[in-house]
């Protein structure tokens, strides 16, 4: 879906972050963040090696209170952070040198339950034309960001997810998570250091508790509710 939108919009890359916290304070813990992106793997590896999440304005919206207004449809030029110099400027220059664009626009979105998300669109636009370009495309970006967030998190309800999570044990949630990541029963057993048939039992229990017909439905339900996240890049990545 992201690749299709990228082609239609004519942008270089899209990245969507989903996070359930309604308020994030500077003193609070950094949450795990569900990330979908069209950025190349080579950049993801460099990003990790350089610990760029500390200065990436997209990630800073998660870790710092008030970095971006939580109002749905807010559009911000994320590259403006580079004007302050320092590590932010280094990060921005590195992105530009590696062909990831020179205009980075972030758009806030949320579903009807308050589950928030943030989408970044990257473009290559002549500096003198960036302001006019942003104004011209603003409404379209807001609509597309809402479409992406709805497709990925439209049914996410933090309150319902918390209630559903209480029905499941930690091991059942762990098994659902790794099943969502495409792991087989045997692979999940190796990861969690438990027997394969124990994994089968945990997934069977989770299926019954969530009222699902099979394990696939249980995984989808857990993802839809937000009991487990999509494949995650966390702050520890």
In this prediction, the residues of the chain whose per-residue pLDDT falls under 50 are 22-27, 65-69, 233-237
| CB neighbour class for 71 (10 Å; exposed up to 12, middle 13-18, buried from 19) | exposed
Dihedral of CA atoms 203, 209, 215, 221 in degrees, nearest 10, equals -120
As a whole number of angstroms, the distance between CA 121 and CA 37 comes to 10
As a whole number of angstroms, the distance between CA 232 and CA 204 comes to 24
Helix (H, G, I), strand (E, B) or coil at 100: coil
Distances in Å between the Cα of 95 and the Cα atoms of 40, 83, 99, 123, 222 are 12, 15, 7, 12, 35
Distances in Å between the Cα of 53 and the Cα atoms of 42, 63, 176 are 15, 10, 27
As a whole number of angstroms, the distance between CA 148 and CA 66 comes to 23
pTM: 0.66
Domains located in the chain, CATH noted = 2-153 (3.30.450.80), 158-228 (1.10.10.10)
**Pick from 95, 100, 93, 116: nearest CA to 6:** 100
| Beta carbons within 8 Å of 55's beta carbon, 6+ residues apart | 81, 86, 87, 88, 90, 91
**198-236: per-residue pLDDT in tens?**
999 999 999 999 889 898 889 988 887 778 876 554 443
53, 235 Cβ separation under 8 angstroms: yes
pLDDT value of position 150: 84
As a whole number of angstroms, the distance between CA 119 and CA 72 comes to 11
pLDDT value of position 136: 94
13, 100 Cβ separation under 8 angstroms: yes
pLDDT value of position 204: 95
**129-157: per-residue pLDDT in tens?**
999 999 999 999 999 998 888 887 776 67
Helix pair 196-209, 185-192: axis angle to 10 deg = 100
15, 58 Cβ separation under 8 angstroms: yes
pLDDT value of position 24: 44
As a whole number of angstroms, the distance between CA 36 and CA 66 comes to 23
């Amino acid at each position: 879906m992201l690749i299709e939108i990228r082609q239609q919009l004519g942008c270089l890359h899209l990245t969507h972050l989903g996070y359930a916290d309604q308020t994030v304070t500077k003193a609070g813990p950094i949450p795990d963040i569900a990330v979908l992106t069209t950025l190349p793997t080579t950049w993801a590896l460099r990003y990790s090696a350089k610990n760029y999440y500390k200065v990436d304005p997209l990630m800073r919206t998660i870790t710092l209170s008030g970095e971006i207004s939580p109002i749905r449809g807010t559009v911000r030029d994320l590259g403006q952070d580079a004007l302050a110099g320092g590590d932010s400027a280094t990060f921005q220059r590195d992105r530009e040198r590696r062909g990831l664009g020179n205009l980075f626009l972030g758009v806030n979105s949320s579903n009807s339950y308050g589950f928030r998300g943030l989408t970044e669109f990257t473009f290559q636009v002549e500096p003198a034309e960036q302001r006019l370009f942003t104004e011209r495309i603003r409404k379209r970006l807001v609509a597309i960001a809402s479409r992406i967030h709805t497709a990925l998190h439209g049914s996410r309800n933090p309150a319902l997810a918390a209630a559903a999570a209480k029905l499941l044990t930690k091991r059942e949630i762990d098994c659902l998570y790794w099943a969502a990541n495409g792991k087989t029963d045997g692979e999940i057993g190796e990861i969690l250091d438990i027997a394969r048939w124990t994994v089968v039992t945990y997934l069977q229990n989770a299926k019954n508790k969530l009222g699902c017909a099979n394990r696939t439905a249980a995984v989808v339900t857990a993802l839809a509710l937000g009991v487990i996240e999509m494949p995650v890049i966390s702050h520890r990545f």
